[in-house]
Structure 1
């Protein structure tokens, strides 16, 4: 199964913030949307990603004063991404080995076309498992 199939199933909507936006505003977006990361974008260009881990780290280091910082001071700049044709197995490997929970999906022109989370993968795998179980059950019933 590919990233494209997951995006078609879950949708391609992306939550993003501007690099100069205050961290407190980005935290509010994460809370209101009940998401674990937002892409940091200047127009259509991906500048970074801001995750809950980034926020926890800066709050542990600097305290609540960090909430007044711009997002670009806190975000992860070296963003690992994936492509729509990547398989679920490939992105699971990347997420596991590099300890990421979110991967932006880029097209051939490096435009962001989606965001895949570990939760999306788990939901997809559970759905696959349920279909396999049902097919096996139906096979046994018909034998």
Structure 2
């Protein structure tokens, strides 16, 4: 059985993307309403500037006691996030997430168009297991060569 791609695994292709001047409060309300864990910060028409996740809201806004209604997304986003192509295998995307320490990857086609956001929640247990095995193998290789 062929492994799924990130594009195949994302149930909804809808992407939340207010402008960089949108407030953190507006973004949090949109994320809650749409039940999603991230929001892309875009510059019209299709330029990806950054990403804001639930974790960012907690660590970069709440933990710093910033005012959500007056803090813009541009102030707290992760600029230039790592992205994957739609044909990227799910286990490869999960491996990137494990090694880099994040849970969301924008999916961009060859022309830079946003096709969705892959979340670790979109992966199946066997795909996560494959990524964990590869991460462990990579770590052992670093120890041997290190």
**Are the aligned partners of 2:82 and 2:105 in contact in 1 as well (CA < 8 Å)?**
yes
Q: Indicate the SS of the match to 1:32.
A: helix
Q: Indicate the SS of the match to 1:26.
A: helix
Deviation at 1:123, TM superposition (A): 7.2
Count of residues in Structure 1 that have an aligned counterpart in Structure 2: 123
Q: Indicate the SS of the match to 2:82.
A: coil
Q: TM-score, normalised by structure 2?
A: 0.76
Q: Distance in 2 between matches of 1:34 and 1:42?
A: 23
Moved segments of 4+, more than 4 Å:
123-126
Q: Indicate the SS of the match to 2:78.
A: coil
> Unaligned 5+ residue runs, structure 1?
127-143
Q: Indicate the SS of the match to 2:116.
A: strand
**Are the aligned partners of 1:38 and 1:50 in contact in 2 as well (CA < 8 Å)?**
yes
> Unaligned 5+ residue runs, structure 2?
129-146
| CA deviations over 1:84-134 (Å, ceiling 9, x no partner) | 1111121010011111111000000111111111111137859xxxxxxxx
Q: Distance in 1 between matches of 2:126 and 2:116?
A: 16
Structure with greater helix percent:
1
Q: Distance in 1 between matches of 2:17 and 2:114?
A: 11
Q: Distance in 1 between matches of 2:124 and 2:70?
A: 35
In the other structure, the counterpart of 1:104 is 106
Q: Alpha carbon RMSD of aligned pairs, Å? A: 1.9
In the other structure, the counterpart of 2:75 is 73
| CA deviations over 1:43-100 (Å, ceiling 9, x no partner) | 2111100101111112212x14244111100111030110011111210100111111
Q: Distance in 1 between matches of 2:99 and 2:75?
A: 26
